Chains A and B, each alone.
Chain A
Amino acid sequence: MIRPIQKVLQNGWLELVSRWILGLTFIYASYNKILFPADFAKIIYGYDLFPHALINLIAIILPFLELVAALALISGVYPRSAVSIINVLLAAFITLLSINLIRGHEFNCGCFALQNSDNNVSSQTTIMRDFIYLALGLQVFFYNRHRRWCLRQS
């Protein structure tokens, strides 16, 4: 039972595909946040879980953390470290969304800009999606064979 699972987890092509899926997803995710940090800051405010003093700093730094980690994953520079960052972010997103889902907190600022940038996906769907990404991320993290199309093997 364990051996076939081990075999899948150590599959080099799966590792490559996981890395690229995560990389492309996070580049896409960072794009609007980098272009419109003020809108992203308002979304962070909407979670109602962060001290006000940290909201802008998170809005400035987080998108670039996503972008740099994503580019590192795709190019294969420090892939294990890059995927560690991605996994921590995914775990944080899952936690934040779950907390707000459990306490029934929903934020709607009635803002035109945010209505347009919001893709109206439910929290449950987003949490499920993040769990799938996290599973891919864990495969990349624990993979310990030669990585395909990778600039640095670590």
Chain B
Amino acid sequence: MDFMKTVKETGVLIGISVILAFGVNQVSPNGIALLGQWDTSQGVIRAVKKNDVVMDELEIDDITHGKTLYDTGHVLFVDARSSEDYHAGHIKGAVSLPVGQYDEQIDGFLERHDRDLPIVTYCSGRTCEDSHFLARLLMERGYTNISVMIDGFPGWEAEGYPVD
């Protein structure tokens, strides 16, 4: 067994992998930034894709502001989590529109809720991008007044706010 030869060849394989990795990441539509956003105190954590769904301007990063909107009684809270999670517990009065079943459920949602209705989406907190993803999908359908409550259901529940 020639140890040095193995080391050299391993270097060649690693070199090819690294070149290929950065090349493909550069051209792939799903490519990510070299540095992600992994600090929950800065907002939703994510790798930061080229087609990043997170829109900072929509974010409600203070849960008490979410509660103020809730208390007006004029804002629709939309739960982006799976229906199992929704049934296990959700913000009182929130409707379920799981990102995973968006295509099947969006028509019914459109019939029931006007486009000018103020909407707050939420999911499982700052480790989850689904509420942003749902916000984008709803904007594409013409909803104009959308916010994303990034602390999600866990943050809401921790404050002792109304749940069902």
Contact = CB atoms under 8 A, between A and B. Distances in A.
Interface of A: 34-38, 41-42, 45, 52-53, 55-57, 59-61, 63-65, 67-69, 72, 78, 80-82, 84-85, 107, 109-113, 115-116, 144, 154
Nearest to B84: A115
Interface residues of B, number: 48
Q: Is the interface of A mostly helix, strand, loop or mixed?
A: helix
A80 B6 CA distance: 7
Given A65-B13, A65-B21, A111-B130, 8 more contacts: A45-B38, A56-B36, A56-B47, A59-B47, A69-B13, A78-B9, A111-B127, A154-B6
Contacts of A63: 21
Contacts of B7: 81
B13 A144 contact: no
B149 to A, nearest CB: 14
B18 interface: yes
Interface stretch (B22-30, B60-68, B103-111, B155-163): B22-30
A141 to B, nearest CB: 9
B38 A116 contact: no
B39 interface: yes
Nearest to A78: B9
27 contacts: A34-B24, A35-B30, A38-B47, A38-B48, A38-B49, A45-B36, A45-B38, A56-B36, A65-B13, A67-B17, A67-B20, A68-B20, A78-B13, A80-B1, A81-B9, A81-B12, A85-B10, A85-B14, A110-B85, A110-B127, A110-B130, A112-B82, A112-B130, A115-B82, A154-B5, A154-B6, A154-B9
Interface of B: 1-2, 5-7, 9-10, 12-14, 16-18, 20-22, 24-25, 28, 30-36, 38-39, 45-49, 80-82, 85, 98-100, 123-125, 127-130, 152
A60 B48 CA distance: 12
Nearest to B15: A68
Nearest to A50: B38
